[in-house]
Chains A and B, each alone.
Chain A
Amino acid sequence: MFDKKELEKIKHGRKDWEKNCYLPHKKRHPERSKKFENLSWNEIKNLYTPGDIAHLDYIKDIGFPGEYPYLRGIHPTKYRGRLWTFRQFSGFGSAEETNRRYKYLLGHGETGLSVAFDYPTLYGYDADHPLARGEFGKCGVAVSSLKDMEILFSEIPIDKVTTSMTINGPAAIVWAFYIANAENRKIDRRIIGGTIQNDILKEYIAQKSFIFPPEPSMRLIVDTFEFGYKEVPRWNTISISGYHIREAGSTAVQELAFTVGDGVEYVKWAMKRGLNIDDFASRLSFFFNAHNDFFEEIAKYRAARRIWAKELKKLGAKKPRSLLMRFHTQTAGCSLTAQQPEINITRVTLQALAAVLGGTQSLHTNSMDEALALPSEKAVRIALRTQQIIAEESGVTGTVDPLGGSYYIEWLTDKMEEETYQYWDRVEKLGGVLPALEKGFYQREIAEAAYRYQKEIDENKRIIVGVNDYKMDEPIEIPILKMDEKGEERQINRLKKLRKDRNNTKVEKNLNALRKAAKSEANLMPFILDCVHSYATLGETCQVLRDVFGEYVEPAIY
């Protein structure tokens, strides 16, 4: 990328600088640490110069935004054209309470919705299932039927605003609730937009809210890809996620490698079924974490874009739209502290800024109280304002990929891409993604990284402000969200009434049709939609699939 003679001059210049300026100074004023490492334990040098990125070709490796390899962005105008979506992940208690929170957020400038479901819903159980005991509404909203979905989105313009739903095991069914609700409101399925997370691989690796074993789960996912591009074309049928992998303790490089690797696996599965890559690839989306090491995160997002474009090209995608990696980002929940919770606002700001400088299409900022409970109104409002300040006041949106060309950032981007391919080699040697999963490869890598990180904190080698340094003893004085105690009872009564009032013969017929279809190779979405329209519950529909597909038991890896 640089003139050879210039590079020689710079190389010599650097040597002189080190000898005459840097080292003498360092002798008198030692550096704070023998080694500086980022969160993937890669050593960071004291200074980066053109010499570090001399091997790169601007046109081939870096390029222009909106053009292959999309390193600098997938849109030529980026935030000059359109800001990222302010999309706060949200949900608790019953559908009524969450509906109020959505209206609050939209009223305060949120531009996209994101649904958090409670554990019973995530596992495909109705609110009155024995395993749901004590879990109702605690970490998200409880949705057991189409009725709940109707209440959840009551008076919300789902024809104008897009909705992301964090649901995996029963994703197809919950998506069906959303589609059915839209249709009941006379909104055409062709115009509704949104995302279902629907990423089962990372469930096995990290989040653990899986239901069925890998093969039937993948079948269901490809069913949704197919149904999506044919019937619900504005919908992202998957959000291939690294967020949870990172939260489980992985490094940034692992997050990148495992996530994009999962993405490639999904594409291969869909192609194996006979789907044309250019039909579904543009509706695949991604979801990354925004953790603490500012520059590493930015490099990570850039590397992700370039790797994805390269891989999809290799797999035979011809349309430019198929090569674009669109992603949502959430700031790192695991980095927040219960101690001195207000300072979490600062953490989130830095993390959000990294996501923006990395070119995210959509962003969730955590609230300061999230190490303690679900966000209160005030806390989530401040989190939203954080995004709005970055958008309106910081000036970073005026140019595309502002950090492009930084010697450090380009070097780090390249390094992370290189290490990603090294991980992929290891996975290949183990037989591929599913065999590696079964052998516990990912889980082991993550557990090791998590333990190493925690040890550094316990040994004070890594400082977490307020936790192992800058501590203070003060009572926590921020308002903690309280939920409606009657919510669970209300939900259970609603379920009872629903089961009584609906046409149970129809429900039975539809569930049986689903059962038959599940044993065949038919696309299950239309059958699921029939069940859902007749008010079969989430639990009932899921149970049919449980009966046919079986349940997954994970290999225990520490």
Chain B
Amino acid sequence: MKDISSKVLEGDPRAIARLITLAENNDPVAASAMKDIHPHTGHAHVIGITGVMGSGKSTLISELTRVYRKQGKKVGIVAIDPTSPFSGGALLGDRIRMMELAMDEGVFIRSLGTRGMLGGLASAVYDVVEIFDASGKDVIFVETVGVGQAEVDIIKIADTTLVVMVPGLGDSIQTLKAGIMEIADIYVVNKADREGVEQTMAEVQSLVDISCSDKARKIPILQTVSKEKKGIVELVDEIEKHKKLLEKTKKFEAHRRIRYEAELVEIIRKRLMNLVFDESKFKDKVESLIDKISCKEVDPYTAADEILGKILK
């Protein structure tokens, strides 16, 4: 679809939005357009933002965007919210906190539901990042769903990952030790005007001291009060410092590789799942196999062998 992909490369908002939708819905048109735009990607700095609910991620992104915009950079923001496992629907509520950016031509915000995917991301996020990149965005923020032990997939896609915390959640830092706390390139203690900020800083600092004791780079911890625009410029500087470090140590390529691997895995996974469970060719076979498993005529492993065998033929 030369039409839509060339429009995307020109930065046309409607084309960008439409291609994202097509990719999200696994529309065959999308695959063709994504092929066209891939050669034009690789310039944008992808910044992942994760953290507990209520840590002010969206407001923080809003303020960071403002600073980048002053520098003349174009910004894309992907905001991900959980899809209800029961209804399949979602309340995509991050955008509402970034309303002041709504009319800035140099900012594009897209909300995605996780649509069943675990890890804190949405399946389509790789496509969105590629589309934003190809359409000329210099900085891409990816805001993930809340936080937990499992929502760490952000590192697969981000060049720089920020983990955002709020004071007064002292216990949570202990429970977060494994997983979320390990993925940060930069820690941010937002709402730093709240009570308990010293304690939070101390806990994060001790974590950093332990985990970075043998490393070249000590993970920086910054304080911000995003509502009052405090600490934002310093945070942007720190992000830029990290970017320069990635360029210098050639880690950018390594990060990109991880992303492309994850993207490839995701595309294959989607295709396989689609093939097996949605397309009529195999769907009936799968249904009858599930029935057989239910009456113990066949076990799940044998059934899987059978399906995979048929596909690989």
Contacts and interface: CB of A to CB of B under 8 A. Distances in A.
Asked if the two chains touch in their complex, CB atoms less than 8 Å apart, one says yes
Interface of A: 431, 439-440, 553, 555-556, 558
B97 A556 contact: yes
B220 interface: no
Interface string B89-123: 00101001101100000000000000000000000
Interface SS, A side:
loop
A558 B90 CA distance: 12
B296 to A, nearest CB: 40
Contacts of A555: 97
5 contacts: A439-B54, A440-B54, A553-B100, A556-B97, A558-B93
Contacts of B99: 553
Contacts of B195: 431
A451 to B, nearest CB: 12
B96 A556 contact: yes
A440 B54 CA distance: 9
A556 B93 contact: yes
A285 B191 CA distance: 35
A558 B97 contact: no
B150 to A, nearest CB: 24
Interface in B220-258: none
Top 7 nearest A-B pairs by Cβ distance?
Answer: A556-B96, A556-B93, A558-B91, A556-B97, A558-B93, A439-B54, A553-B99
Interface in B62-83: none
Nearest to A213: B227
Interface in B192-206: 195
Contacts of A558: 91, 93
Contacts of B93: 556, 558
A440 B96 CA distance: 14
Given A439-B54, A440-B54, A558-B93, 4 more contacts: A431-B195, A555-B97, A556-B96, A558-B91
Contacts of A431: 195
A537 to B, nearest CB: 26
Nearest to B94: A556
Contacts of B54: 439-440
A431 B96 CA distance: 25
Contacts of A440: 54
A459 to B, nearest CB: 16
Nearest to B58: A556
Nearest to B96: A556
A133 B195 CA distance: 43
A439 B167 CA distance: 13
A558 B93 CA distance: 9
A556 B99 CA distance: 11
A440 B93 CA distance: 14
A353 B111 CA distance: 49
Contacts of A556: 93, 96-97
B253 to A, nearest CB: 39
A208 to B, nearest CB: 13
Contacts of B91: 558
A178 to B, nearest CB: 34
